[in-house]
Structures are given as C-alpha cells and as structure tokens.
Amino acid sequence: MNTLFELTALELAAAISRGELSSKEALLFSNSACTANADKLNCFTSFSASDPIAAAPVSPLSGVPMAVKDNICVAGTATTCASRMLRDFIPPYTATAVEKLTAAGAVCAGKTNLDEFAIGSTSETSFFGPVKNPWNLEYSPGGSSGGSAAAVAAGLVWYALGSDTGGSIRHPAACCGVTGMKPTYGTVSRYGLVSYASSFDQIGPIARNAADCAAVLDMIRGHDGRDSTSLPGPYLPLSPQLTGDLHGVRIGIPDVYFDEAVDEPTRRAILSCADTLRRRGALVESCHAVGLEHAVHAYYVLACAQASSNLARYDGVRYGCRAEDTHDVQDLFVRSRSLGFGREVRRRILLGTYLLSGDNYETYYKKAVAVRHQVENTFRALWHNYDLLLTPVLPGPPPKLGQEANNPVALYQEDRYVACANLAGLPALSMPCGMHKEGLPIGAQLLGPHMADGAVLNAAFAFQQETDFHRLHPPIFGLGGDAG
Ligand code: GLN
C-alpha cells in the first residue's frame, strides 16, 4: 500500500481505471494516512464521509481522494473559514468548483485548515490552531492554504483545492514542496468561495506536479452564470498543452523580484531552474520591470478595503456567531464581531475601514487603484518581450511557527513576489526547485499573460521532466503512514 503514496493523482487514477485497485482502497489508504498523521499537522478542520465511486471512471481523476480548503462551501458540511465566527455554519449549497469535481468522480476526504478567512500567510491565525509544515514540524507550512499544501505534501490526499487572493496557493505550495496554481482571474468560478477580497480571490489546485494541476483545472474551469466575474468560455483544455517543449519560449527574470532580499540558496535554486528551462529550449534572461515594486503595498490597501466590506455581513444577525446578553442591536454587532473574529482579521477590518473613510478614500484607496493599473501596464509591456516570467515565491525559508506573530508588516512584505499576479489577474504557478539546508523546500514562480495558463503549466511540466524536486517527500512522512 505504501507505494500508493508515491503516485501522482493521474497515476493513481490510471491504476484505478486499469482495475489494479479500487477507489475504495484509495480512500481507505487516504483515510488511514489522515487518521495517523492529520493531528500532527493539524491540517484538517473536518473529515468527510464521502463514498468512493463504484461506477466506471468518468474523468482522468475519477476515484482519487482530494481535500477542499475550508473556505469553499460543500453543502451539508461545516464551512468554518477556520473562524469562531463560522464555526457552526453549514452551507446549503456547494461551490461550483467542488460540484464539478464531484461530477468528475472526485472523492473528498475532508476540509483543510487555513488562516482565518484566508487572511494571512502562515496558517497560524486559524481558530483551530496552527498548521505545521510536514518537512519540519517547527515551521509554518505557509498560507493561507497551509492545510491543503501540508495534506498533499504529507501524502494524505493526492490533490487539494486552495484559494489565492495574494499568494495563498503559491506560498504554501512553495513552503511544502508541492505544485500550486492560481489560474487567470475569472476562469474558475468563485461561487461558493467565501469572499475575502473579491477582485483578487481565485480557486486553484495544489498537487504533486504540474500535470495533476492541469488535470484538476481542466475539470473546474469554465464560465459560471452564478459568478458575475466569470469569463465567457469556451477555454482551450490545458492538459493537451503539456508538450514539454520550450523552444523559442522567452522567459524574463524581473530584477525587482530578484533583489538583495533573496537569500543565497533561493538565488541559486532560481538560477539553476533558469538553466534547466534553457536546456528545454527556453531563452531566459534578466529583465527590468518598473513599477512592480509597489504592487504589494497596493495589494494590502485594496485587500483590506475589500475585506472590511465583505466581512461586514458577519454581525451575529445575518451570519455568524452571536454574543449573549447584549442590550441593543449596536451592542450585539460590536460584541458578536469582537467575539467571532481573531486578531489579524480584526486588524484587517479596522485598516480597511480606515482606508475607505473620509479623505482616506482619495489619499490611499484611489492611489492603490492607480498603482494596480500601473502594475497591469507594466506586465502588458513585459509581454511584448517575454512569454513568461520567473521569480522566487518567497525570499527565504518559510517562517518558524510563532516567529512573525508580532510583526505583521514583515509578513505582508513577504508577499511581494506573489501578490502582483492577483493585482493583474494573471495565471501564476509555484513549483519546488530546491532545498534549504534546514531541509525545507524552495519554490519558483512562473507567471504568464492573461489566459496563458497552458504556457505556464507547460513550462513547469518541462522543468519537472528534467528534475525530481516534485518527487521528494518529507522524510517523516516518507512511507505515507504514521510519522512516528
Ligand atoms: N498573505 C496574503 C494576505 O494575507 C494573501 C492571502 C491569500 O491569498 N488569501 O492577504
């Protein structure tokens, strides 16, 4: 059974369709790995009693156990957003992405832990306690989709859905040594995804490799009339675009994202990633990009503003936990929100409300919108000369648990290589490309123009044909069984 852990999602599905094992056996394997290890990692908020499919495979991933970040609704199953506020929320509807996966024969093993309301980048702000990094339990798995990335890295499920508002798929994927993709904004429906910052939020896969990510995306992409920002289709399927051929593909490494803050191991890993891509035929060179350095600041202004408005609905009346013994409706709102939200979420709401009030709207919010346009224009200019961009995901190793708890601004800064893709709505992927000496993975980010998701995935696919970083497993979870 241990070898099951070594398979990718597509390999497992192929074994199931050849009749070498049943989807029930795969689910039993996943369930027992989860039971043995999930507590150590704290990567699940709940397990589901999903039945394995018995019928003939209906898609390339039929019968493969997966997990869903707990800010994505599954009807009848608690969707807590890792917040006390929604601890008892059972949605009456299912997110389109999950509906599509279920129709394609996916088996959900459970809901994964996250930063409260997907706000954060260490998966420590969860009401249910921090998620641990499977490579070293003293480190953060990154965030906010830390539970999804940890569960895939530890071999508890073969892929998982995450959400990415300012890096929350790519950041934990990098920290846990797995592959994660934020698709072009509007290509995966946000229906059923609990909103954080709606103009950035996007659902995407975290898996062992780029081919699995493409297979998942092919199942969940598509126009959805229930999401007003959903792009009209049809979309070209992604999996057939994975040829591994990079001849003539021009890849730029923007100087602003390869600065002195990048530590030596990360720098070496990115440069060697560039060499590997060259061996596959790509032309890789450093490039100058003006204006991208302000992206992360604009991101935080806009994300906080949108969060303050999206989270206004949790008032103890319309949604969320309700404080007892309040004396009027104002008191009910104030005390329910103070009770339900954790520290970081309260900080973001306060900041967002401040940024939208009075003159601040002109001074900060409108300026951030202007920076967003500038970032879009910078990318548009870069696409004249480059097909893709290559950057680090974060400047160094993932933070140790507790390390950044009192330094939110330092933590916000760590998102500077990833948040730009959300500002411009671009497809971006993180893939493992090296190791820090502490035994923690290093991630490389590939970004592409709007709707060039296939080109991004193909570059990652080519890289993964040449390298084995995506096949490494955390030593303590190497057998897919009890970590001891
Ligand atoms: N770390 C970023 C934030 O805290 C991104 C979070 C996300 O992508 N959900 O806002």
Instruction: Supply the CATH number for residue 8's domain.
Output: 3.90.1300.10
Residue 251: inside a domain: no
Q: Are residues 237 and 318 in the same domain?
A: no
* Same structural domain, 23 and 148: yes
The verdict on 451 and 359 lying in the same domain is no
DSSP classification of residue 471: G
Among 111, 178, 175, residue whose Cα is nearest residue 143? 175
The tokens of 455 are what? 């080109």
Q: What is the pLDDT of residue 226?
A: 98
Distance in angstroms (rounded) separating the CA atoms of residues 151 and 131: 10
- Any domain includes 462: yes
Task: State the pLDDT at residue 3.
Answer: 75
Q: Is 480 in the pocket of ligand 1 (CB under 6 A)?
A: no
Within-domain flag for 137: yes
Residue 415: inside a domain: no
Which residue range forms the structural domain that includes residue 315? 293-368
Contact (CB, 8 A) for 132 and 37: no
Whether residues 218 and 355 share a domain: the answer is no
**Atom 4 of ligand 1, residue of closest alpha carbon:** 120
Work out the number of other CB atoms within 10 angstroms of the CB of residue 376: 17
Do 130 and 202 fall into the same domain?
yes
pLDDT number for residue 51: 67
- Asked whether 36 and 46 are in contact (CB, 8 A), the reply is no
Asked whether residue 233 falls in the same domain as residue 315, the answer is no
Mark which of 334, 350, 368 sits at the end of a domain: 368
pLDDT at residue 292 in the model? 93
Q: Answer whether residue 456 is part of any domain.
A: yes
| Closest ligand 1 atom to 303 CA | 10
Query: Are 215 and 320 in a shared domain?
Result: no
Specify the pLDDT at position 56.
64
pLDDT confidence of residue 483: 40
Distance (Å) of CA 38 to CA 43, 95, 133, 168, 373: 6, 24, 11, 20, 42
- Choosing from 336, 368, 400, the residue where a domain stops is 368
Residues with Cβ within 8 Å of 39's Cβ and at least 6 positions away in sequence, in order, are none
Whether 143 is covered by a domain: the verdict is yes
What number does the ligand 1 atom closest to the CA of 163 have?
9
Do 63 and 176 belong together in one domain?
yes
Residue 184 has pLDDT above 70, yes or no: yes
Q: If you average pLDDT over residues 358-377, what whole number do you get?
A: 96
The pLDDT tens digits for 113-152 are 999 999 999 999 999 999 999 999 999 999 999 999 999 9
Q: Give a yes or no: residue 393 inside a domain.
A: no
Tens digits of residue pLDDT in 24-59: 999 998 988 888 888 899 999 999 866 666 566 678
> Cα separation of 341 and 328, whole Å?
20
Residue 140 beta carbon below 6 angstroms from any ligand 1 atom:
no
The residue out of 368, 383, 401 marking a domain boundary is 368
Q: Give the mean model confidence (pLDDT) for residues 105-111.
A: 93
CA of 394 to the centre of ligand 1 (A): 13
* 288 pLDDT above the threshold of 80: yes
Dihedral angle computed from the Cα positions of residues 88, 94, 99 and 102, in that order, rounded to the nearest 10 degrees = 30
Q: Can you tell me which atom of ligand 1 is nearest the CA of 307?
A: 10
For ligand 1, atom 10, the nearest C-alpha belongs to 119
165 and 86 part of one domain: yes
Structural domain includes residue 284: no
Which residues are known to be catalytic?
69, 144, 168
**Domain count within the chain:** 2
Confidence at residue 476, expressed as pLDDT on a 0 to 100 scale: 79
Both 78 and 156 in one domain: the answer is: yes
Q: Are residues 224 and 339 in the same domain?
A: no
Residues 298 and 234 in one domain: no
